[in-house]
Structure 1
Amino acid sequence: MPTSQLPQPPTIAARIARAKPGLTPSHQQIADYVLKHPLQAATMPIDELAAAVGVSVATANRFARAIGLNGYPMLRAELVKGFEAMLAPVEKMRVRLAQPGSVLDAFVAALEESQRNIAATRTALQAASCEAAVQAVVQARRIYLLGFGSSGWLAGLLQRGLEVHCENVHLMSSVGGASQGARQLPRMGESDLLIAIAFPRYLSDTVLLTQAAHERGVRVLALTDGPHSPLVPFAHHCLYAHTESYHAANSETTVLALIEALCSAVALHSGSSVQGAARVTEAILPWLHGNDRAGLRPRPSPVTTE
């Protein structure tokens, strides 16, 4: 029998419903908490859950047995199922906190982690993928940048880097949210490029808008973590970044490094990169500290008080 057709074990909710008539009041308190906060319960050691509900550790263990499990560890393991990707940063943080060290150790560990991620990303780069990504950017009539959550900030930095060398760069992830991004879909066409950024934990808005753009015939460049990413089926080109982190879902350092590398490569292959950089420098010159001495920007008037 195929694995997909094998009978599936009952969920925690189903176990609780089946055992409900025989649950004690204390067990029912635990059941209510677990059903209301399944993600929190999945991350709690038994003593934390017992304290949160206001029961003893022994009662928490007996509750697990009352719903047909061997004990609390099995209860927690069942709760984790389906939450693996979301809980991974929490579990990594738990492991990290179990290894005490100084503040300097924390700095060093984070920097070394970034170095490892960047080195792994560099090793995995393929010449053909890099060339295709740059050509897609350079040849696009308009470029749309898509990312939400932390990827929204990264999309903004990508816009900052590309708009020096590309005429039409538009950020889809604005204050209007996903619906504002969707409003831009009708103007997008085959001569445009969508650069979509998403890493675990992937946000559905990014995936859905990328799929919608793909279905309109828009070329898609995905900045993501690997071939398993939900963006890949809709992408014509992909650049992958290793983003392992001990304290967060991802390390944005590597993604930013990849973004800077992409912008640098576009600058080198753009016919007007020097002129574009010169125009930007000229535009911001009056706002650079020290240029007021050269008369490029009026010095602020001194503050007076009555």
Structure 2
Amino acid sequence: MSSPRSGNPSLAQRIARVLPALTPSHRQIADWVLAHPLHAATMPIDELAATVGVSVATANRFARALEFEGYAQFRAALVLGFETTLAPVEKLRSKLERSATVGEVCAGVLADIQQNIAATRQALDAQACERAVEAILRARRVYVVGFGASSWLAGLLQRGLDAYHENVHALPTVEGASFAAKVLARAQAADLLVAIAFPRYLADTVRLARLAHERGMTVLALTDRVTSPLAPLADVSLYADVDSHYFAASEASALPLIEALCSAVAHRAKGSVHAATQLAESVLPWLHDGERGNTRAGTQRAAPPARGQRTATRRATPRTISRTSK
């Protein structure tokens, strides 16, 4: 199946055109494929045949009935409409076809993350970084949005910026995108939206970025490439290489970009040392004893004596003074 955008018929159109000539078994396959196109696109021919309950030969004849050369071309046409969605599935399938120990998998993933970080650093746009930091520091309010796996990244960004900007708000909540939309409806042009989206890009994040853009807000995008749906909506974009063989994107590869941005804000912000000191003091009572052992030891050394000791001390003091005065 070629893409409908190229003027070629879609899968549904192909099936509709040949439907009267299809055998009962072929119709059975057609019904299942139309109901589960994404699932069918991931299946080799033997798996599809077993799932539908037909022979492999019947599945091959079904593909030829739709005017494909064979099942491989039929499946390739299905995949064509879901390139971004199916990319992680195909990469995972390829990985699983090669034997590897658990240790080799762990080492390989860490190596992939290291390569992603190196690629992100190499492609880093210094001017874009400057503009991003300036946009954060001059904004009246900073709103951070990201859904799915990016909701965790949004929370970490909010946490990292909070000490250096008095109005930073993470929009992902249990209410979902509707809450974020209500908040942005009250936002002003002096506010900033930081939108985070990596493959697979969630539509809610893109819609909210478009809403902020239309309201005249500055939009900062943290995403993976210039073809990301966030890029055309953003005033400035920072990109992270997040390739993964096992997942849609590597959040571990996106996190260094967020930490780097927060560090740059801390470096540029006025009073950052004072802010860091205040933060350290505020969390001190909540730290584990081992993390504040010197403070506790000092407090214990300076602690007042027990009740009986206080009485004895008070009684002894005048006598000592009296003897001294004599």
Find the counterpart in structure 2 of residue 126 from structure 1. 125
Look up the SS of the partner of 1:111 in the other structure.
Answer: helix
Find the counterpart in structure 2 of residue 18 from structure 1. 17
Find the counterpart in structure 1 of residue 74 from structure 2. 75
Gaps of 5+ in 1: 297-306
Q: Deviations over 1:7-52 (max 9, x none)?
A: 7222111111122222222111111110000000001000110111
Asked if the contact 2:4/2:10 (under 8 Å) is kept, the reply is no
Find the counterpart in structure 1 of residue 274 from structure 2. 275
Find the counterpart in structure 2 of residue 105 from structure 1. 104
Find the counterpart in structure 1 of residue 244 from structure 2. 245
CA-atom RMSD in angstroms: 1.9
Asked if the contact 2:141/2:168 (under 8 Å) is kept, the reply is yes
Find the counterpart in structure 2 of residue 301 from structure 1. none
Cα distance, 1:282 vs structure 2: 2.0
In structure 2, C-alpha distance between the alignment counterparts of 1:49 and 1:32, rounded to whole Å: 13
Amino acid in structure 2 at the alignment position of 1:256: L
Find the counterpart in structure 2 of residue 202 from structure 1. 201
Give the stretch that moved more between structures: 8-17 or 90-99.
8-17
Higher helix share: 2
Find the counterpart in structure 2 of residue 50 from structure 1. 49
Cα distance, 1:271 vs structure 2: 1.2
Find the counterpart in structure 2 of residue 304 from structure 1. none
Find the counterpart in structure 1 of residue 231 from structure 2. 232
Q: Deviations over 1:220-258 (max 9, x none)?
A: 111111221111222111111111111111111121000
Task: State the TM-score, normalized to the length of structure 2.
Answer: 0.86
Asked if the contact 2:112/2:244 (under 8 Å) is kept, the reply is yes
Amino acid in structure 2 at the alignment position of 1:75: F
Cα distance, 1:5 vs structure 2: 11
In structure 2, C-alpha distance between the alignment counterparts of 1:97 and 1:5, rounded to whole Å: 32
Find the counterpart in structure 1 of residue 304 from structure 2. none
CA 1:27–1:239 in structure 2 vs 1: closer, same or farther (change >3 Å)?
same
Look up the SS of the partner of 1:266 in the other structure.
Answer: helix
Question: In the comparison of the two structures, how many residue pairs are matched?
Answer: 293
- Is 1:92 matched with 2:91? yes
Question: What percent of counterpart residues are identical?
Answer: 57
Give the stretch that moved more between structures: 33-42 or 94-103.
94-103
Look up the SS of the partner of 2:143 in the other structure.
Answer: strand
**Matched ranges for 1:29-44 at <5 A:** 29-44=28-43
Find the counterpart in structure 1 of residue 137 from structure 2. 138
In structure 2, C-alpha distance between the alignment counterparts of 1:87 and 1:162, rounded to whole Å: 35
Asked if the contact 2:221/2:230 (under 8 Å) is kept, the reply is yes
Find the counterpart in structure 2 of residue 191 from structure 1. 190
Cα distance, 1:155 vs structure 2: 0.3
Q: Deviations over 1:130-178 (max 9, x none)?
A: 1111111111111000111111111011011110111001111211111
Amino acid in structure 2 at the alignment position of 1:215: E
Look up the SS of the partner of 1:58 in the other structure.
Answer: helix
